[in-house]
Chains A and B, each alone.
Chain A
Amino acid sequence: MKGKTIIFFIILLMISAIVIFDLSIRQSNVSASVIPEESSDAIPTTMLESEVFNLQDLAIDFSKLQSIESEKTLAEYYENRAYDGAPPKIPHPVLSEKGIGGKTCLQCHSTGGYVDRFKAFAPITPHPDFLNCNQCHVPKKTDQLFVSSQFKRPTPKRIGSGVLDGSPPPIPHDFQVRGSCLSCHGAPSVAKEIRVSHPERVNCLQCHAPTNSRQITWERKSTEEEGGTE
């Protein structure tokens, strides 16, 4: 009897601890969401290394989909944008011109998956928090041009830069608006040349070093040690 009472008390204690802990988390969330951001000075909203983990929940799904081959090539990937890093065009008819995109686009482009209508896997956006999709992504209504252009897209970066078979390729681009690695390197919707064989290992930066975004890591260093390194 005595033992049971003790166990009961312990259970009670644990439950109350959980409840209190949970409440405190909720409250901290609530208050955090109500207090307006104090200063927005130079908070780069489009350049977050933490986004690397954005799609980790889907990583296992991606790894299960490994047997399905990507149909898209890197050439097609580049064809759909003006230069490496430019927002891609919408290559399919849009369901509605009316809204800003938002849910209409995200129903397919937040988690991807096979879309029977287009007989393809939907690419996943690396920035699902930007809801005004049409701000940057526009459809193509004609093949004709008003006036031809002399703009030449730069040669895209070579993939696998500076590595041999077996060693992890460095990352040749920065994280601005594309910090979420698995969006473009995980699912069967991505270009086959840049799809990873191991999407389940979500800590991409552990092995793949950013080469063009050295700025990010260097700045961190220079704030610790005066007289930065660049």
Chain B
Amino acid sequence: MPIKSYIIIPQPDQKQHLMEDIGGMSGCEIHPAENEEVLVLVTDTQDETADKVLLKQIESNRNIKHISLVSGYE
């Protein structure tokens, strides 16, 4: 049951879109910064496979400029 957190920097002006897209996915919690174009994402999945699938889905989103893992618990 991996739990991981990421910092996401959206493409210009895409913060809101990205929040809605990713926030709507199951196992994803999104926390936007109020004054910066930055999102914090926490993922919570059943197993490693589900985690990988989810990450693939997220990474495919074109509104993401940059995503980096901060901490993770397997």
Q: What residues of chain A have their CB less than 8 Å away from a CB belonging to chain B? A: 163-164, 166-167, 221, 229
Bound together, the chains give a CA A163 to CA B73 distance in angstroms of 10
B residues 14-51 touching A (CB-CB < 8 Å): 34-35
Q: Taking CB as reference atom, which chain A residue is nearest B3?
A: A164
Q: What distance in Å separates the Cβ of A9 from its nearest Cβ neighbour in chain B?
A: 53
Q: Is B71 a contact of A166 with CB atoms below 8 Å?
A: yes
For B, the interface residue count at a CB cutoff of 8 angstroms equals 6
Q: Are B35 and A167 in contact (CB under 8 A)?
A: no
Q: Residue-by-residue, is B43-74 near A (CB-CB < 8 Å gives 1, otherwise 0)?
A: 00000000000000000000000000011110
A-B interface, 10 closest residue pairs, ranked by CB to CB distance from nearest: A167-B71, A164-B71, A229-B35, A164-B73, A167-B70, A163-B71, A166-B71, A164-B72, A229-B34, A221-B35
Q: Which residue of A lies closest to B35 (CB)?
A: A229
CB-defined contacts of B35 to chain A, threshold 8 Å? 221, 229
CA distance A229 to B33 in the complex (A): 11
Contacts of B70 in A (CB 8 A): 167
Residues of B within 8 A of A167 (CB): 70-71
In the docked arrangement, what's the CA distance between A166 and B73, Å?
Answer: 10
Taking CB atoms, residues of chain A closer than 8 Å to B34 are: 229
Complex: how many Å from CA A164 to CA B73? 7
Please, could you name 8 A-B residue pairs with CB atoms under 8 Å apart, sorted by A? A164-B71, A164-B72, A164-B73, A166-B71, A167-B70, A167-B71, A229-B34, A229-B35
Residues from chain B with Cβ under 8 Å of A229 in the complex: 34-35
Cβ contacts under 8 Å, A221 to chain B: 35
Tell me which residues across on chain A come within 8 A of B72, comparing CB atoms. 164
- Nearest neighbor of A162 in chain B, beta-carbon distance: B71
Q: How far is the CA of A221 from the CA of B35 in the complex (A)?
A: 11
CA–CA, A164 to B71, complex, Å? 7
For the complex, what is the distance from the CA of A166 to the CA of B5, rounded to whole Å?
Answer: 13
Instruction: Give the complex CA separation of A221 and B33 in angstroms.
Output: 15
Q: How far is the CB of B3 from chain A (nearest CB, A)?
A: 8
A229 to B36, CA, bound (A): 11
How far apart are the CA atoms of A164 and B35 in the complex, in Å? 26
A229–B35 Cα distance when bound, in Å, is 7
Contacts of A166 in B (CB 8 A): 71
